[in-house]
Structure 1
Amino acid sequence: MSEVLGSIWWMIVALGVLVTFHEFGHYWVARRCGVKVLRFSVGFGKPLWSRRDRHGTEFAVAAIPLGGYVKMLDEAEGDVPAAQLDQAFNRKSVWQRIAVVAAGPLANLVLCVALLWVMFVIGRPDYSATVGRATGLAAQAQLQRGDRIEAIDGAQVHTSLDALQTLTIAAIDRRDITLNLVGIDGSERERTLALSRLPADFNQENVSAAIGLVWNHQTLPATIGKIRPGSAAAGILEVGDTVTAIDGQPVHSFGDIGPLVQEWGHRGGLAMVEVDRKGERRALELAPKRQRDEATGQVYWALGLEPAGSGVPAEFDTTQQLGPIAAIPAAFQQTGKMVTDSLGMIRRMLTRDASSKNISGPLTIAQVANDSAKQGLAWFLFFLALMSLSLAIINLLPIPVLDGGHLLYYLIELVKGSPLSERHMVAGQYVGLAALAGLMGLAFYNDILRLMTRLVT
């Protein structure tokens, strides 16, 4: 399956699951409150399939798989027969209407916990939070290759994803954090990462790079895949050589070569590059050449080497797996952390501490859906859980046309003792549509910008 078709397919699958559970929440509570449900639709537009149950509810799958809805008997939607007035949504008490509207986001929250429970029971393969290379702030904190991050500010870290999520939030807040590390030799130590020293304009989409931290699974072996013609290494080093040392300094990964070459170039003169060539150790003498980056004008020193095996993902080196009982509190704990992080990010974007570039649209979500599906069932369940939680939170935002907007109307009704006037409700709907259109426009802009960036890099 091609990348595009795969992204579309898994996006449709994800939306189908999430929308079905969301709308089922509305449907189930509405029925328990005595509201007549006319239609339960997954998707919009012309139904591709439908059937009607004994209660008169039409269940349908429609042609446009971008959402869904539950249509209830309501005098605001049209005339209601006198014999069915007691089943009309608008005739129910305000508390019943609140329950029906809140049931959709609540269903997504329950689904999030359930999906995480299944994920933990199956076991999600992942990468450990092991340092591959440290520069910048990470080097200043004395992080070293092979260090494994065990905890951040006392909170246990299981994977590099756990660590990155915590690091991202702390970086946005410019908050110094304490890392508990286990070295490659098994020694334990504590270090402070001074995130308060990050520049104001650091790239919030790549916090690891801003900190100067490369995870172990992101490092490439120091094996030469290509040598540029006319470069310093041409005719001396060979494709397939694995660099093991430069001027006596050990090389563990391809990323170690650049900094060592810069030091060597500023120092000047010839030096030995030690390589492993088909099992034979060789020491070859050469000197780097001075280069200029045409885009930035920056001068640097280079040997003219390119890595082998780029784009090949490293193998997972750890697995998050729990028994069925232990997975229950873990699923609730993970959901709580995700809720806190999500609400915190929304607050930071409203206060402009977090960049609006953090907002992703359907193009990015489709790509992530496809990528997670490729990594296996557990990763796709994690993606669905995150999407389900996001859908719950977004729908609870107090924006008219969303569930949260309707809940706001009902809370106002509770306070003032009567419903809002139709004129105010219509005005609110226009404001809500404008807000959603602006949010969607920003999300699409970010998506297109990411795609264009990937094309030119």
Structure 2
Amino acid sequence: MTDIVGYVFWMLVTLGVLVTFHEFGHFWVARRCGVRVLRFSVGFGKPLWRRTGRDGTEYVVAALPLGGYVKMLDSGEGEVPAHARHQAFDGKPVGQRIAIVAAGPLANLLLCLAAMWLVFVIGRPDFLPEIGRSEGLAAEAGLAAGDRLLEIRGEAVETWTGAGIALATAAMDREPAPVRVRRADGSEAVLTLPLDRPQAVLREERVLQDLGLRPAQWSPDTLVGTVLGAAAAAGLQPGDVVLAVGDRPVERWEQIGTAVQELARPGEALVLRVRRGDGELDLAVDPRPAEREDGSRYWQLGIGQGWQEPAPDALLRYGPLAAVPAAFAETWSVTRNTLGVLRRMLTGHASLRNLSGPVTIAKVASHSAERGVPDFLYFLAILSLSLCIMNLLPIPVLDGGHLLYYLIELVKGSPVGESVRVAGQFVGLALLAGLIGLAFYNDLFRPSF
């Protein structure tokens, strides 16, 4: 219940900030162009709070916080008195209308840049791209434990966040990906990940696991989280790391179960070597017989896998001046990746699971806020940039659709016909409804994290 409250709270904070900036962009430029603004609303539906300012604009906070709008004087939405015609949106030159509509996405872009700058000034904790274990495709390519990733497809990577994005992009393209690494002995090598193999199953959201890469900072795979029954009686504790079962070393959690089933004997203790703190010790455990639902029997130790949040070992921090180009570079990098994902989704090279809705936004907003101010600001920046890009798509009812109409008007010298605009609205609403439905579907059926 506490998690749900946190999700809702941080979603409201996130969307409230993004929508307010977006609509303020429209509002500010409209006022500078002499357009009369009737209402500035954050959210849709029933007003929860409203106030009329000295400028005559009604400011509203509405019940459904999934968007907002700025209502301007416009003859297309109601009768405009002759004396107020010069204050109507549709009475302004097409250049000013383009500026007013483009101001919303531009405000989100500026918010992204400001948030990125602040992230780099404060410093964003992250993890050095050092490999702790390499299996599967990664091991086949020659990547090994102790390697430090330096470049992926010619682009430098400084953290696991950057490496993960680069690898996910490479996985979408299904092309061989050259990777430059620094070995544990200090030498460098260029290896190639065979991502073009038909049998390679690579999910963008779990690309490290599917490649067989495990960051060095992750907690040991055989870390004990819960202790019950025989294990508790033998003295095992949460936080112990299982190193061997009997005379069989183990590196992965599933190896523990396999070893127990093969080595356990009735009435005989099974020795587990574990690491506790800086030392190692042997504990004798008496496995207990248990029965599965299908009636088959197996040996049970009474331990569950654990996980410890790793401590960041990298910090991206710049001075106030140096943070400016860093913010622009990061914004451009995220923009390029976002547009790349959209292009790949349209061509079928990327999964439609990349599209997320309010449920995922709420979860990620809450988790990023828990990790600290820099992480939340970075998430806010990426979401603000995504809102900017999505709004500029040439879909009627979105800002990009209106801009398309105005650009056509600018070229042909007259407004787009009413029938075309009405038909466009129906198409735009259908596309938008489809995108929203797909986003909700992904939210509901995407594996939790």
- Category of TM-score, reference length = shorter chain: 0.7 to 0.9
Q: Distance in 1 between matches of 2:280 and 2:312?
A: 30
Structure-1 separation of matches of 2:217 and 2:93: 56
Pair 1:187–1:265, CA change in 2 (3 A): farther
How far apart in 2 are the matches of 1:225 and 1:36?
Answer: 62
Cα pair distance change 1:226/1:7, threshold 3 Å: closer
Aligned to 1:309: 306
For the 8 Å contact 2:125–2:314, the answer to whether it is kept is: yes
Mapping of residues 425-436 of structure 1, within 5 Å: 425-436=421-432
TM-score (norm 1): 0.85
Aligned to 2:242: 243
- Aligned equivalents of 2:135 and 2:200: distance in 1? 19
Q: Greater shift after overlay, 416-425 or 388-397? A: 416-425
Deviates more, 1:168-177 or 1:312-321: 312-321
Q: How does 1:226-305 map to 2 (within 5 A)?
A: 238=236, 242-245=241-244, 255-256=251-252, 258=254, 274-276=273-275, 279=279, 281-282=281-282
Say if 2:397 is the partner of 1:398.
no
2:142 aligned counterpart, secondary structure: coil
Deviates more, 1:57-66 or 1:28-37: 57-66
Correspondent of 2:352 among 349, 356, 362: 356
Match of 1:321 among 312, 317, 320: 317
Say if 1:56 and 1:276 are closer, same or farther in 2 by CA, change over 3 A. Answer: closer
CA distance, structure 1, for counterparts of residue 432 and residue 397 of structure 2: 9
8 Å contact kept, 1:170–1:177: yes
| Gap change, CA 1:211 and 1:200, over 3 Å in 2 | closer
Q: 1:292 to 1:442 in 2, by over 3 A?
A: same
Q: Report the alpha carbon displacement of residue 17 of structure 1 after superposing the two structures with TM.
A: 0.7
* Residue aligning to 1:387: 383
Look up the SS of the partner of 1:171 in the other structure.
helix
Unaligned runs of 5+ in 2: 263-269
Q: In structure 2, what is the equivalent of residue 440 of structure 1?
A: 436
Residues 364-383 of structure 1 mapped to structure 2, 5 A cutoff: 364-383=360-379
Seen in structure 2, the aligned counterparts of structure 1 residues 283 and 47 have a Cα distance that, compared at 3 Å, is: closer
Change in Cα spacing, 1:155 to 1:58, as seen in structure 2 (3 Å) is: same
Matched with 2:4 is 4
Q: How many residues were matched structurally?
A: 440
Provide the rounded CA distance (Å) in 2 between the counterparts of 1:201 and 1:5: 36
Q: Distance in 2 between matches of 1:369 and 1:9?
A: 9
Distance (Å, rounded) in 2 between the aligned partners of 1:145 and 1:283: 29
Residues 207-238 of structure 1 show CA distances to partners (whole Å, capped at 9, x for unaligned) of 112211122233336344457979xx999995
Unaligned residue ranges in structure 1 (runs of 5+): 295-300
CA deviation digits over 1:419-453, x for unaligned, max 9?
12212211111111111111111111111112xx4
The verdict on how the C-alpha distance between 1:225 and 1:363 changes in structure 2, with shifts beyond 3 A counting, is closer
Partner of 2:90: 90
AA in 1 matched with 2:363: Q
Q: Indicate whether 1:67 and 2:67 are aligned.
A: yes
Please say which of residues 275-284 and 56-65 is displaced more in the overlay.
Answer: 275-284
| Distance in 2, Cα, partners of 1:228 & 1:3 | 27
Following superposition, the deviation at residue 60 of structure 1 comes to: 2.4
Q: 1:234 to 1:73 in 2, by over 3 A?
A: closer
Same amino acid, percent of matched pairs? 52
8 A Cα contact 2:245 2:259, kept in partner: no
Over residues 357-376 of structure 1, what are the superposed CA-to-partner deviations in whole Å (9 max), with x where a residue is unaligned?
Answer: 11111101100000000000
Change (3 A) 1:277 1:293: farther
Give CA deviations for 1:80-137 in whole Å, capped at 9, x if unaligned.
1111111111111111111111111011111101100000000111222221221101
* TM-score (ref. length: structure 2): 0.87
Match of 1:417 in 2: 413
Aligned: 1:104 with 2:100: no
Q: What is the alpha-carbon distance in structure 1 between the residues aligned to residue 72 and residue 127 of structure 2?
A: 47
| 1:164-183 alignment, distance < 5 Å | 164-183=164-183
Which stretch shows the higher mean deviation, 174-183 or 8-17? 174-183
